[in-house]
Chains A and B, each alone.
Chain A
């Protein structure tokens, strides 16, 4: 104790040593903040969470049949069955799996077509398993995609993990707005190509129908009415023949649902020989309608077959046509791949488009050099949530600073002293950032600076301001009540308050030790631990120096 007292006393005695302390502190601050742009410490909203389950979404091209989708699904299941840590796998063909948080925002509940499938994979308990689920997904992703996607050209397989925080559509979502659908689609394909080339992005998917051909039967109304038939009859019979229909129900006493009477052509006579136009024409020639006179008229007589491009589903967001290009971040923070991809877009597409930045952060506006057509590219998904959250937390942080400052001004009725306390609290950021760097070096996976780290930092401000507060109060009391001179009073105060400051700091460090091992709250734990260490050093060495240099700290013994 005595030694620490004389240590502080010594520093206060020499102007050079004081400047040394101030200089070292500022250098540490600058150095730690530089760790962010130099990517020594990486930021992410929330890290991966090891769960006991994950999902796989399969999107085969829009005109795929359920059999083709099933084949892809079976391929995926075959690979999963080799994994020792998997307990069971459920495949939902043509529909979404039972809703979960991820599925809720990814539109799993709306899936209702033959080209969609979802697979739920359940794992052994995470405590008995060595490999966290996010590592498993990372390892399986190339295997599954490499083996099963080629089964049907144009298939996209998405590996979907349980979100650690609020769910989002995807890690990276590029919304491409424009007027003409075909042009938007063309641009979104270019963006998707760039995403595919960007390291760290996986499962790239254009959320739009894949273009495909279809046959349009153009009814010849003249012929139809001359045969004594109607277009409606033609429509109905075609649907009945190939899709089938429940024409009447039968109520049943001992069955919980109605029993339908389903009519369709038999498999043998229904299926076409191949997918050519000729085969369809032959089939339609044998399908006949009966007119009022009892004559049978082949359908092929009544319609003309034309091959056309199928009109795609149109998407809008906030009243503008839009196509989403989504991508997942493969074990990395989505922030950096996104910035990479953005740079590539600005670089590679600059020949065809004139690219300018727009309103919010990283959004882009692309203007076609030839036609002058304007497209907007906006980022959404986890990236936007991250930016919004960091922005809001930043604002919360500044608000907290101001509130504490005002509180201190009310308490001390002095701006300088309040400023000293505030400076002390802010400096705990050194510890927070350095702590994350150390954690990243020590741990196996990347340790991200996350939203919870920021929460920890905000909480730390309060804690470290209390250290300074008690210190100032004590020094003030020594000067006022016992008539100590300034240098002596500050040294004694530092030495005496060192014990409770250390005690509460140790309590916080120990209290947060278990947090640090948690995948999600780890950031907070590390922030609290390392930030507290920094706060203790700052409040015991840097704050006394500031106190000594501040005129506002000149108190005289009250007589």
Chain B
């Protein structure tokens, strides 16, 4: 390593500059940084909004026949008192309805979710003995934002003239659900709307009294018919197995229609005599999904639809999963078309996340370009090139560290980058400006160029370090902002300080290194070098 002889650096800035000035590994390091940054950008999970860890859950205790006031007194109040014993609970919401008591528990934002869920479950289980008579087993459902919020929803509907029925459509969507659930990292899937197949036995009250029957008898008769029994293992005399089983008596709707419910005046009464028995859909279900979509200029009529919703595992990439889902749907298209079924993507968070990320990335690139152009005017194109190089290097380091610490790329992370852009070119600008000033100073001719580089970097080291430290200090308290908003903007205090430290290191290592190779002393009194070009006098640019 070639040392600068006369100048002894005092600050870490100068020391870094001197160490890396002639190190052959410096360009390798630079390329390496850019590569890991790019890789991080590609493999980090993308989301639109940062994940907010919300811990909490819902406890549902059904108690048939109880009035709201009873539920409040014997279920909600005791349960709430018990929940109050758990540490870290912020709010408890109790809802006492007829037949059911619900208690929602919200932990303070930022509480460890796994532990909080476990505590909640524990507390309920420990106090099962306090449950009043007549109350049913409590249900404990923890919130899980990651899997509860679907990233893709697809609406399936029958096109006009479709041959299949509503129940067939539901069957089809169930099948699609099973297929899409196979995709890696797809977690919770659910279906909204649609009609399940059901045998409807609609009893005519008038006929019932005509035959002198009660509803109870009919229910008894149906229950007796619909029995499933396991196979029976019979044995032969010589110890071999003979397996036989009773066939389910209900094979088709006919079997139900021809069920004998009673005898009347010696002749059998079939179920079909007193009720309309049809194979149809669940008529008692009032939950429906309707949709209308644009078809050219006009909208289609409001028609029934079935919504399939797909969630993802925490920390997985919404963009990749959404793309894969779309690919699978494409493959299914011919089959759907044949059956006269249309589908429409009604939510695509993958695309939204990708759009948001790409938009911000392009903003970052444009901003870098604008700053580069500005620097050409004020400092010269070589200096501008050097500063411009430092930006991707700094962002690469920051991205890589964000990746290591398990963050995702989202609106707020990128926003932290945008915010730091204006700040992180500063270190490089200050270094390059000082180098520039020294190169154009009167005594520059007599000095070794290496020495100038190291000295110029070292000189502004101390105030720049302090100033950068000051900016970092302003960011630190932001990490302690509480509540949802604090969680939401967490990427800012997490990433901006990292970017600022990286900007210092990069400015001290690469700016002198690149300066040594790109910048030359301006042509002055002596003709040391014939290849010196005329430099534009940048002094005129400012003020």
Contact = CB atoms under 8 A, between A and B. Distances in A.
B286 A503 contact: no
B415 A507 contact: no
For chain A, the bracket of interface size reads 35 or more
A442 interface: no
A400 B469 CA distance: 11
Contacts of B93: 315-317
A376 to B, nearest CB: 15
Given A319-B80, A455-B478, A463-B471, A88 B149 contact: no
Given A316-B94, A396-B478, A266 B276 contact: yes
Nearest to B480: A396
Contacts of B69: 311, 314
A400 B474 CA distance: 5
Interface stretch (A142-150, A247-255, A543-551): A247-255
B290 A91 contact: yes
Given A389-B481, A507-B426, A514-B363, A88 B344 contact: yes
A454 B489 CA distance: 12
A92 B193 contact: yes
A421 to B, nearest CB: 9
Contacts, number: 404
Given A86-B294, A511-B422, A4 B91 contact: no
A415 interface: no
B216 A502 contact: no
Given A166-B485, A263-B219, A313 B96 contact: yes
A257 B196 contact: yes
A162 to B, nearest CB: 10
Contacts of A135: none
B205 A499 contact: no
B378 interface: yes
B307 interface: yes
B107 to A, nearest CB: 13
Contacts of B250: 250, 261
A286 B209 contact: yes
Interface stretch (A235-243, A355-363, A482-490): A235-243
B374 A396 contact: no
A456 B197 CA distance: 58
Contacts of B286: 66, 93-94, 114
Contacts of B192: 92, 95, 97-98
Interface in A519-552: 520-521, 524, 528
Contacts of B174: 256-257
B287 A93 contact: yes
Interface in B196-244: 196-206, 208-209, 212-219, 222-223, 225-226, 228
Nearest to A92: B289
A36 interface: no
A94 to B, nearest CB: 4
A28 interface: no
Nearest to A297: B214
A94 B286 CA distance: 6
B67 A311 contact: yes
A465 B232 CA distance: 87
A215 interface: no
Contacts of A168: 484
A470 B347 contact: no
Given A166-B487, A393-B481, A502-B543, A259 B352 contact: no
Interface string B359-375: 00001001100110011
A167 B483 CA distance: 11
Contact of B423 (A459, A465, A513): A459
A315 B347 CA distance: 33
B481 A88 contact: no
Contacts of B477: 395-397, 399-400, 403, 458
A263 B292 contact: no
A60 B541 CA distance: 68
B84 interface: yes
- List the 5 closest A-B pairs by CB distance, nearest first: A462-B471, A466-B467, A166-B484, A511-B422, A508-B422
16 contacts: A87-B294, A93-B286, A98-B192, A104-B143, A166-B52, A256-B174, A266-B275, A269-B205, A290-B217, A314-B96, A315-B93, A407-B469, A455-B478, A498-B542, A507-B422, A507-B426
Given A73-B290, A122-B346, 14 more contacts: A104-B143, A166-B484, A233-B216, A259-B197, A313-B98, A315-B95, A318-B92, A392-B482, A400-B473, A400-B476, A462-B470, A499-B543, A503-B429, A510-B367
